[in-house]
Structures are given as C-alpha cells and as structure tokens.
C-alpha cells in the first residue's frame, strides 16, 4: 500500500532554523474530564527516542506549558486517556500557541507554521469522515459485501485526494520546516513524479535530510524497474520454505501482476477481494498473480494466505521492510503492484480497485 497516516511520530526530526526557542502553550481541554491527568512535552533524541522535557497537571480543564528548548523544531505533546492509551499531538516550537481538544480532535494553532499544519490536519479530518463512518458500519456488518465495496471505493478516492493535498502542502511549504516534516510523514503516499517535483524545487537544507537522501536514492533505483523496463527477478522462499523465484512465472507468456503485500497491511487486505475477483475472471484468459510478502512472521503470513484462500504463488524472505524486494523494486508503501506483459516488460504499476479490472479488460477481453 501506499500506506496513509497523518504523522508518524518516529519520523520527527529537529530542524534548527529559528532564532527564538521559547514556547508558551495554553491548553483548553473542553471539560473537566481530563483534570488530574498529566500532559508531557517530548523531544526526540536519536540515541534514546522521545525524551520528556516539560510536564504539568491539567486543572479545571486547562493547562500551561512555558519554557525554552535548546533548538527550535518539532516536538510532541503526550496525553493519556483513562484507559492508559497515549495520544499525541506534534507541533513546531514557535512562541505563543493555543491547544484545544473537542470531540476527540486536537487542534494547535497560534503561529504561521502551526496554523498551516493545522489547516492540513483539518482537511485530512474532512477527507476521512466518510471512511470512518463506513469503517464503523463494516465492523458491525463484516459480511456485507455492498458495505465492503463502498468502503473500498471511498478509500480509493481518499488516497487520491490525500496524495494531492500532501503534495500541494509540501510544495507550498518547501522552504520552511513544515514542508520537510510533511514529506517525511507522507512520502509513502506520493508517486515518483510527485517526489521528483518536490526534489527539483527543494533547497539544500531539505535535500540534506537523511530521509530525503534515502528517497532520492530509491528514486534512482526505481528507474531500473520503471514502466517499459524489463522486470527484475527475485529469489525467495515459498510458505513451505522451498525456493522460488519470479522468473518461474514472469515472462512465460501470460500477464503477471507482482503483488507486494503483508498480512498486517490493512489496505492490502481491503484490496484483496478486488484482486481475487479479477484473478477469477481473467486467470483462464492469461492473467496470473505472484504475491511477494513483507511479513516477518511466517505463521501470520501462512494464516493470511489460508484464511483468505489466496490461490496464486507466494514468496517472501520474511525480512519486512528490509526485504530485498523493497530495494530491488524501490517502493515505500504497500500494497504495491507491478503488471508485467507476457514478454517480461513492465507495463503498469499500482493498479487498484476499478483501474485493475479496466486494464485487464483492455488487455484480455
């Protein structure tokens, strides 16, 4: 998948580019249910992970955190709900800031960077309203195929609009810390052409970031398996631990979709019914699939194959994101698919939902 999350806390990096490192955060919790609970401000250390820098106890539905940090950059507010589950809100240290929470949604504004970041978050929330609703309905009625179809279609629309939002916001903030922060958080949702546009416009500070350097290197590698290129072979193992390679199936006279997935990948599992339907419809006409799993747990991988009755060949090196498949095919999110023609030439990538059926109809009907 092109896995989608608003922010992965693990990607937060300090960016020293502001002369003032003072903060004054005033929080409004909306009611007194948070009274007596602690709010903690965290910073990120490359050596030890997130470190507590400041904290206070919420009283009368309010709190204040005031102080100074060694360097301006991205920090995190940590709250814990009654059930002990942590919730986070990341922000850029930039003077006087206002925090609030309503209906479970957190807002933090008061400075240009944080206002722009909050605007991004507000649009994200608007985009996910229908997904959240359909997901709740589907959980209550898991056997309802119409609901499942509606959810998958809505999710497909969301992926497209989210990608456009991420790209637009990054480009608008390419010269400030928000552009880099959002790029780190959303790069798995971006297409190669988006990343190329961003890197072409980015300045030296952006380009020097380790995560950006990694993506830039992947982009170079991805051209080796771009559309129009010959597929690259992979040698791994079947679920029964016997050797298997892509070359046993690809370039043998049928259209083959190489499907990079994992049992733990929600979007992969949501797309699976569509792939199964396309396989059933077009397999006898010359369409095959080979699954390449990014699982680490062999039992989970095998269980997902069995429970979902996946009929096509499967392979994995059980190395997760360190799999050779990631470096050879240069992708940063799953599900990721590569469609190869009967001669072994890549003709399409990331066909999902109706687009996969449309392409197969064009080729095989």
Domain ranges of the chain: 9-105, 114-224, 227-364
The percentage of residues in the chain with a pLDDT greater than 90, rounded to a whole number, is 72
For residue 240, the number of C-alpha atoms closer than 13 Å in the C-beta half-sphere is 3
pLDDT above 60: residue 13:
no
Instruction: Tell me the pLDDT tens digit for each residue of 153-167.
Output: 898 889 899 999 999
pLDDT at 117 over 80: yes
pLDDT confidence of 48, banded at 50, 70, 90?
low
> What average pLDDT does range 197-212 have in this prediction?
95
Span 161-197, pLDDT tens digits: 999 999 999 999 999 999 999 999 998 888 888 999 9
The pLDDT confidence band at residue 202, using thresholds 50, 70 and 90, is very high
CATH topology of domain 9-105: Immunoglobulin-like (2.60.40)
Predicted local distance difference test score (pLDDT) of residue 9: 38
- What pLDDT is attached to residue 252? 95
Inter-residue contact 74 to 209 (CB < 8 Å) = no
Residue 20, pLDDT score: 64
Q: Among 204, 122, 124, which residue's Cα sits nearest to residue 166?
A: 124
What pLDDT score was predicted for residue 12?
Answer: 39
In this model, does residue 28 exceed pLDDT 70?
A: yes
The pLDDT tens digits for 53-103 are 999 999 999 999 999 998 889 999 999 877 878 999 999 998 999 999 988
Mean pLDDT of the chain: 90
Q: Is the pLDDT of residue 5 over 90?
A: no
Under 8 Å between Cβ of 323 and 214: no
Question: Residue 57 and residue 65: Cα distance in Å, rounded?
Answer: 10
C-alpha to C-alpha distance for 225 and 222, rounded to whole angstroms: 5
Please report the pLDDT score of residue 143 as a whole number. 86
- Residue 45: per-residue pLDDT: 61
Residue 278 has pLDDT above 80, yes or no: yes
Specify whether domain 227-364 bears CATH 3.40.30.10: yes
Q: Which residues contact 337 (CB under 8 A, 6 or more apart)?
A: 257, 258, 259, 260, 349, 350, 351, 352, 356
pLDDT the model gives residue 356: 96
- pLDDT at residue 320 is higher than 90: yes
């Amino acid at each position: 998948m092109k896995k989608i999350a608003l922010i992965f806390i693990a990607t937060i990096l300090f960016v020293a580019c502001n002369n003032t490192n003072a903060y004054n955060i005033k929080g409004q919790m909306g009611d007194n249910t948070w009274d007596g609970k602690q709010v903690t401000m965290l910073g990120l250390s490359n050596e030890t992970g997130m470190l507590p820098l400041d904290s206070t106890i919420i009283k009368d539905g309010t709190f204040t955190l005031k102080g100074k940090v060694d360097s301006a950059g991205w920090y995190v507010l940590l709250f814990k709900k009654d059930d002990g589950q942590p919730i986070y809100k990341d922000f850029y240290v930039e003077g006087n800031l206002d925090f609030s929470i309503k209906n479970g949604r957190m807002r933090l504004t008061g400075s240009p960077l944080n206002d722009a970041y909050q605007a991004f978050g507000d649009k994200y929330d608007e985009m996910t309203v229908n997904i959240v609703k359909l997901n709740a309905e589907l959980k209550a009625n898991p056997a309802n195929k119409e609901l499942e179809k509606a959810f998958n279609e809505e999710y497909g629309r969301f992926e497209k609009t989210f990608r456009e939002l991420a790209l637009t916001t990054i480009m608008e903030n390419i010269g400030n810390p928000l552009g880099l922060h959002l790029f780190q958080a959303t790069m798995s949702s971006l297409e190669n052409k988006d990343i190329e546009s961003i890197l072409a416009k980015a300045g030296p500070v952006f380009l020097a970031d380790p995560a950006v350097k990694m993506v830039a290197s992947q982009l170079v590698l991805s051209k080796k398996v771009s559309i129009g290129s010959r597929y690259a072979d992979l040698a791994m193992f079947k679920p029964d631990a016997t050797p298997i390679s892509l070359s046993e199936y690809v370039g043998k006279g049928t259209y083959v979709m190489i499907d990079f997935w994992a049992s733990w990948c929600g979007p992969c599992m949501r797309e699976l019914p569509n792939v199964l339907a396309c396989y059933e419809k077009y397999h006898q006409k010359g369409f095959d699939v080979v699954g390449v799993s990014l699982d680490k747990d062999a039992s989970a991988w095998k269980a997902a194959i069995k429970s979902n009755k996946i009929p096509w060949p499967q392979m994995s090196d059980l190395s997760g994101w360190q799999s050779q498949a990631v470096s050879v095919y240069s992708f940063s999110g799953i599900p990721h698919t590569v469609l190869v023609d009967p001669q072994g030439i890549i003709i399409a990538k990331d066909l999902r939902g109706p687009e996969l059926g449309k392409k197969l109809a064009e080729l095989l009907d």
